[in-house]
Structure 1
Amino acid sequence: MRSAGNAIPATYVRGGTSRAIIFRRDDLPDDETLWTPLFQMAIGSPDPDGNQLDGLGGGITSLSKVAVVSPSSRLDADVDYLFFQIDPVTGDILTDANCGNISSSIGPYACEQGWTNTFDGVQTVKIYNVNTDKIIISEFNLNAKKHELVAICGVPGKHFPVRLSFLEPAGSMSDGLFPTGNKSEVIKLADGTSMLATMLDVTVPCVIIRAEDAGIKGDENYPSLLANKAYIDRMVELRIKASLMMQLCQNEHEARFVKTNLPDVIVVAPPQGGLTGITARYLSCDRPHRTAPVTASMALAAAACIKGTVAADLCTFEKKGVTSIHHPLGTINVYAEISPTEDVLHTSVIRTMRTIMRGELIVSRPPEHKKMAE
């Protein structure tokens, strides 16, 4: 084993607009109950100030993530990937959903570990996401030429592209595409107001509403949304009601305090300035998102391609199946292939990744297990 003393091998990566610590499964304790304190210590949570000063987290949810990866024994996958979302303040760990941005780092990581056949040119890695029981196809060229490098909104510079394709992504955490059986329906809030919503599950459960119903214009920047407490409180209430309607939680307490990542909230508006596509503002883990979560964006793109949803009523297309989603820091283009019977066959997007650091995580209080004692 490569773990020794109070150190565990780890890799620090940027995937899309997120960052995460990646661990090999074999380097972690056999007893998975020891993972929680280990991951909290690594990322720097809980932290009452939310700064994660004592770890590798970045003080916001998109920079507070962990992935555990191992070679897969499945015939349809090369690697298994389990994602952990860690709350910067409380240290609560959520494993119900996947992160699309971090998914972009898993294929290249597997190649770097020597778990897949490596060769010059485009490589394909089949990823089994344990959280959602879904297969993701990752395509990339580690040795891409300079002219092949791409930029994504929210990340400076250009990097090699990673194409992610999520196969049969509907029903990641529920019984199907539309968990309530309806493409859109009215949700009533405690103040008596009502809003038309689309609740669907494509790579991740989401609830989509119009910006005017959310009380915003829809083109606000991230700082202004973060400072709008009334807006956030209203969207939290919406999320909780949608979670119960989609049967993602058993009761309000679980929805409000335990599974705070279900569903993602997407607030949409028509694009301005002659643009095609749709404008979107996201809330994840009850906080406004500074860009666009990949999984929620895939859900939005699928909804935009299905008549009768809130998104479809507002979206315009330049190319069939490709939705240009305009978020606070730019645009993300997401492809969704929908069958004639309105089944979501797959969704895909291009991200970039970078391996920032490889080394050893120093554990201040090492969990007692055989691998760390060797």
Structure 2
Amino acid sequence: MSKCEKQMKIPAIYMRGGTSKGVFFLEEDLPTDPIERDKVLLRVIGSPDPYGQQIDGMGAATSSTSKVVVISKSDQPGCDVNYLFGQVAIGQPLVDWSGNCGNLTSAVGSYAIYRGLIDVPQNGVATVNIWQKNIGKKIIAHVPMKDGEVVELGDFVLDGVAFPAAEIKLEFIDPGADDGDTDGGAMLPTGNPIDILRVPDVGELEVTLINAGNPAIFVSASSMGLTGTELQGDINSNSELLKRFEVIRAHGAVAMGAAESVEYAMTKRQHTPKIAFFSEAANYTTSDGKKISSEDINILVRILSMGKLHHAMTGTGAVAIAAAAAIPGTIVSRILGNTMSELRFGHPSGSLRVGAVAENEDKGWVVKKVVMSRSARRLMEGSVLIPKTIE
């Protein structure tokens, strides 16, 4: 006999931010107990799904679309709203709260305005000061306004997104970790721009371990037998290569103090650190058939997210890349041939410009700010529905 049980409604907005999309909630609309909250969010997204499709939820079976955001008013000095990001695993009952989503950051300011959490100008640009709770950092979003409403449509083109929209400028303030942080330590956790990582069944590998935006592990494409021009099909169809990337990522997480063990990194901390590979600028064809000339970019980069090659670039990955480009001796600056405060890199869907302000202080290199532009748009407003009783 089937259950005659009604569903419950939770107010939500489904939003695209950058090259990701997720379900946005007010903190007050979710359970206060973290365990119960995660059960609700898993059910909203449709995880865990043994079929890997998230058919019975709002997720779309990729790392870019299996995401949740929780927003509240902030009591942090100089901040308007708190932003908490959850990366929802597809096949496991796991919401990973270990890091930020830089892409969805671009939708946080707009969401806060939609929900009436801040006062904004009728016209011009609304400055939204965001406290990113996952990593304890401030981000400033500059949201265009007209007649008291967020401007969503425009002609700003973001590679990896099919349609143009209004440009939203983001400033990631002091994105590198501080010496007092417990989650990965300083921006260069080992103090070295390059370390030798010893990985069983892989061997010794040169890596840059960096904590900016999110923890990240950078390697050269050549060290993995790759060119840097690969697209999703080239990487994601190679299960052995993906396993090698994951074991390197897990060992790198331990080396930079972001995970207590390799097993923990592989089972409980899948969202961060990210792992990316780099190569010298070269001509290549993007996933949608565009021709990218080596003359129009400074470097090639591909980043993996939740065990798969990302179709474009993670926002926090771009932050870490900008930071590494500005610091001498990293994998990135070495491939570039010099440090760069502003660069354009090629990714599977096109290219992205990003800039960093870095200074060499007594305690080492410090990145004061990383700047980039993204876009965001509401896709649906209303409520999500889930069973009142969740197993």
Q: TM-score range by the shorter chain?
A: over 0.9
CA distance in 1, matches of 2:49, 2:303: 24
Which residue of structure 2 lines up, in the alignment, with residue 284 of structure 1? 305
Change (3 A) 1:357 1:147: closer
Which residue of structure 2 lines up, in the alignment, with residue 326 of structure 1? 346
Residues 276 and 315 in structure 1, CA contact (< 8 A), matched pair in contact too:
no
CA distances 1:315-366 after superposition (whole Å, capped 9, x unpaired): 268x951121210000111111111433100111100000111111112125
Counterpart of 2:61 in 1: which secondary structure? coil
Change (3 A) 1:213 1:320: closer
Question: Which of residues 164, 169, 172 is equivalent to 1:166?
Answer: 172
Shift of 1:5: 7.5
Which residue of structure 2 lines up, in the alignment, with residue 351 of structure 1? 374
Alignment partner of 1:139 is 2:139: no
CA distance in 2, matches of 1:192, 1:216: 15
- The runs of 5 or more residues in structure 2 that have no matched partner are 1-5, 283-293
Change (3 A) 1:51 1:145: closer
Which residue of structure 1 lines up, in the alignment, with residue 262 of structure 2? 252
Residues 354 and 370 in structure 2, CA contact (< 8 A), matched pair in contact too:
yes
Mapping 1:173-252, distance limit 5 Å: 173-191=183-201, 193-252=203-262
Mapping 1:120-159, distance limit 5 Å: 120-143=123-146, 149-159=155-165
Mapping 1:57-76, distance limit 5 Å: 57-76=59-78
CA distance in 1, matches of 2:314, 2:303: 8
CA distance in 1, matches of 2:153, 2:389: 46
**Over the residues paired in the alignment, what is the CA RMSD in angstroms?**
2.1
Identity %: 28
Counterpart of 1:254 in 2: which secondary structure? helix
Counterpart of 1:63 in 2: which secondary structure? coil
Residues 277 and 316 in structure 1, CA contact (< 8 A), matched pair in contact too:
no
Letter in 2 for 1:185: D
Alignment partner of 1:338 is 2:358: yes
CA distance in 1, matches of 2:159, 2:7: 41
Letter in 1 for 2:66: S
Bigger drift between 325-334 and 257-266 goes to 257-266
Residues 13 and 357 in structure 1, CA contact (< 8 A), matched pair in contact too:
yes
Shift of 1:164: 1.1
Letter in 1 for 2:144: N
Change (3 A) 1:127 1:191: same
Letter in 1 for 2:356: A
Bigger drift between 113-122 and 14-23 goes to 113-122
CA distance in 1, matches of 2:54, 2:326: 40
CA distance in 2, matches of 1:75, 1:237: 40
Shift of 1:179: 0.5
Alignment partner of 1:93 is 2:102: no
Shift of 1:198: 0.6
Shift of 1:146: 10
Shift of 1:100: 0.3
Structure with the higher fraction of residues in strand conformation: 2
Letter in 2 for 1:205: P
Letter in 2 for 1:324: R
Counterpart of 1:116 in 2: which secondary structure? coil
Residues 153 and 330 in structure 1, CA contact (< 8 A), matched pair in contact too:
yes
CA distance in 2, matches of 1:33, 1:188: 36
Residues 185 and 197 in structure 1, CA contact (< 8 A), matched pair in contact too:
yes
CA distance in 1, matches of 2:344, 2:336: 9
Question: Which of residues 114, 117, 136 is equivalent to 2:116?
Answer: 114
Counterpart of 1:363 in 2: which secondary structure? strand
Which residue of structure 2 lines up, in the alignment, with residue 301 of structure 1? 322
Which residue of structure 2 lines up, in the alignment, with residue 370 of structure 1? none
Counterpart of 2:209 in 1: which secondary structure? strand
Letter in 1 for 2:321: L
Alignment partner of 1:35 is 2:37: yes
Counterpart of 2:387 in 1: which secondary structure? coil
CA distance in 1, matches of 2:199, 2:76: 45
Shift of 1:148: 5.8
Shift of 1:279: 0.4
Letter in 1 for 2:93: G
Q: How many residues align?
A: 364
Counterpart of 1:122 in 2: which secondary structure? strand
TM-score, normalised relative to structure 2:
0.89
TM-score, normalised relative to structure 1:
0.92
Alignment partner of 1:9 is 2:21: no
CA distance in 2, matches of 1:366, 1:136: 37
CA distances 1:189-230 after superposition (whole Å, capped 9, x unpaired): 323532211101001111111001012111011111111222
Counterpart of 2:64 in 1: which secondary structure? helix
Shift of 1:101: 0.5
Change (3 A) 1:320 1:200: closer
CA distance in 2, matches of 1:258, 1:61: 15
Bigger drift between 268-277 and 50-59 goes to 268-277
CA distance in 2, matches of 1:147, 1:216: 38
Change (3 A) 1:103 1:215: same
